[in-house]
Each structure stands twice: as C-alpha cells, then as structure tokens.
C-alpha cells in the first residue's frame, strides 16, 4: 500500500494490485466503507491481466481524516491528484455508491483525463435525494434522520445501514466485517459525506461524460434505487445498464461472478 500526498497535506491510501497488468481499473469505494470492499474483484480480475488500483477517499479507511474537504469538487480533485501521482493512463474508472458520484464529478470537472471507460456501480447519482422535478432516490427527511442517527450512535446506525445493503442475507461474519470497514472512518467524515450526499446534484454533470459507460445496478437496491440507474442512462450519451436482478446495493458481493465477468468484458472491449 502506498501513501500519496495530495493537496492540503492530506495523505491518501492507495493499493496497486498487479501493477504489470495490461489493462487498469481504478476503484473508488462507497459511503462509509473503504477500498477493501472490492475484495471479490481483487481476487479475480488480476487473473485476467488487469491491474487493480484502489483508493481510500479522505476520511475513510487508511487515508487521512481531515476536518474539511468532503464536497464532490474536492473529492474529485483528490482523485485527479492520485491518478497523476500514480501516472495512470487509459483506465477504466469504477465508482461504487458515493464513489460513483465522485467519478461523475471527476469526469465533468477534469474532462475525463486519463479515463477511457467509466463503470458506475450502484452509484449515488445523479442525485441521492429527491428534488423538484426528480422523484428518484431517498427523501430529504430520510437522509436528515440518518445524519441524526450517526451523531447519536454511529456504530448502531452503520450496522443498520449495512443490513439494508443486501437483497439476500449475508453471513453474520461478512456483516461484521463490513461494519468494521465502515467504522474505520472518522465520525465527522461520515457525517460530512452524508451531508454531501444530501446536498450535491450531478444532473448537469451527466452530459459531460464522454466515454463509454457501464451502469451496474441492483434491481432491489434500497439505498440507491434502480430508477437512479435509468436516470444516469438517460443523461450519459454512450451508456448502457446491466441490471442485477438478485442484488441490493452491494451487487459486487451478492452477484460477484456476474459483476466480475461484466467488468472483465467491459474493460477488455474496444
């Protein structure tokens, strides 16, 4: 694992698995998790000569946890700096949940630099909450309640959130492992990113995505409902949707074989 210094003196934790792979995928995790969430992908993709680079966003996992910098612009700028420092080129950028939102803002704000393909996995986009003219997503009251729960009892709120991420029932051991990843985050960063999910709106960013885009989304997702995938597809010109019929939010685990084969085919396509 490398520790990269980005703007403002914040150090990011970056894992580079199979650095000699012919193709490269860059993973950006979801709220309030870490880069370890893609374990089922790390176990398989390198066998197909794919380099797997994964990043803990600020405030989460093994990265620094500063007080500020949790808006999408800053998180996209941090991602850009990490890509530059790692000298990545011609990558498939893959974002899960809030990671998908960060990747969309990166594509719009940095004109898709170094990215040839985009994979959006259960992405919290184009808006995590319902807005005038946009009835998809959670209600404002639901997100406000979640933030209040985090202030009052973060471990319990995280545990309840993790349980909602699945259409099936994971093993108690997996659920405990997932909860442990989530509680590595700073309490303040968990709250501030939840506020970003509440406040940020990416609808105007979608048309600025100019690369082939694969939208992987669980049909039974209770965190980022499936209509969000359809809205992203409508807004991103060169995109297609792969529904995961048996999955909730964590499709990379519940239908890991389908997820892996979809990513492998997409990364390898011309």
Boundaries of every domain in the chain:
2-268
Query: Going along the chain, which residue ranges are E strands?
Result: 2-5, 11-17, 23-28, 50-55, 91-96, 115-121, 213-218, 239-244
The two beta strands, 23-28 and 91-96, are parallel
* The predicted structure's pLDDT at residue 39: 97
What's the whole-number mean pLDDT along residues 215-219?
Answer: 98
* The predicted structure's pLDDT at residue 8: 75
* The predicted structure's pLDDT at residue 107: 98
The answer, yes or no, to whether the previous bond of 32 is cis (omega within 30 of 0) is: yes
Share of the chain above pLDDT 90, in %: 96
The angle at the Cα of 122, spanning 120 to 123, to the nearest 5 degrees, equals 60
What's the whole-number mean pLDDT along residues 13-32?
Answer: 97
What's the whole-number mean pLDDT along residues 118-140?
Answer: 97
Question: Which positions ≥6 away from 119 have C-beta within 8 Å?
Answer: 25, 92, 93, 94, 95, 213, 214, 216, 263, 266
pLDDT reading at 217 higher than 80: yes
* The predicted structure's pLDDT at residue 1: 60
- Taking the model in full, what pTM does it have? 0.97
What does the pLDDT look like over 36-85, one tens digit per residue?
999 999 999 999 999 999 999 999 999 999 999 999 999 999 999 999 99
CATH number, domain 2-268, options 3.40.50.300, 3.40.190.100, 3.30.1330.120, 3.40.50.1820: 3.40.50.1820
pLDDT reading at 230 higher than 90: yes
Task: State yes or no: is 249 an active-site residue.
Answer: yes
* The predicted structure's pLDDT at residue 9: 85
Exactly one of 78, 217, 221, 247 is catalytic; name it. Answer: 221
Q: Give 120-167 as a 3 state SS string.
A: EECCCCCCCECECCECCCECHHHHHHHHHHHHHHHHHHHHHHHHCCCC
Exactly one of 97, 127, 157, 239 is catalytic; name it. Answer: 97
pLDDT reading at 5 higher than 80: no
pLDDT reading at 214 higher than 70: yes
User: What is Dmax (Cα atoms) for the chain?
Assistant: 50
Task: State yes or no: is 97 an active-site residue.
Answer: yes
| Separation between Cα atoms, residue 188 and residue 145, nearest integer Å | 16
What does the pLDDT look like over 182-199, one tens digit per residue?
999 999 999 999 999 999
The average confidence (pLDDT) of the chain is 96
């Amino acid at each position: 694992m490398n520790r990269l210094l980005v703007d403002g003196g914040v150090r990011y934790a970056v894992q580079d698995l199979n650095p000699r792979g012919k193709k490269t995928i860059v993973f950006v995790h979801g709220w309030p998790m870490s880069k370890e969430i893609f374990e089922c992908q790390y176990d398989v993709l390198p066998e197909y000569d794919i380099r797997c680079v994964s990043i803990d966003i600020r405030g989460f996992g093994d990265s620094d946890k500063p007080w500020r910098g949790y808006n999408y612009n800053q998180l996209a700028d941090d991602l850009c700096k990490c890509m530059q420092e790692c000298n990545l080129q011609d990558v498939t950028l893959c974002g899960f949940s809030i990671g998908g939102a960060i990747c969309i803002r990166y594509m719009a704000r940095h004109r898709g630099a170094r990215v040839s393909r985009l994979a959006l996995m259960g992405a919290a986009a184009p808006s995590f909450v319902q807005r005038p003219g946009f009835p998809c997503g959670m209600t404002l009251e639901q997100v406000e309640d979640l933030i209040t729960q985090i202030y009052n009892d973060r471990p319990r709120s995280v545990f309840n959130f993790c349980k909602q991420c699945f259409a099936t029932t994971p093993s108690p051991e997996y659920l405990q492992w997932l909860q442990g990843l989530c509680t590595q985050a700073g309490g303040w960063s968990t709250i501030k990113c939840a506020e970003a999910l509440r406040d940020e709106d990416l609808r105007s960013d979608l048309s600025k995505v100019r690369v082939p885009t694969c939208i992987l989304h669980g049909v039974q997702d209770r965190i980022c409902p499936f209509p969000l995938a359809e809205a992203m597809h409508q807004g991103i010109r060169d995109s297609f949707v792969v529904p995961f019929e048996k999955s909730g939010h964590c499709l990379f685990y519940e239908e890991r074989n389908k997820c892996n084969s979809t990513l492998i085919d997409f990364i390898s396509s011309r």
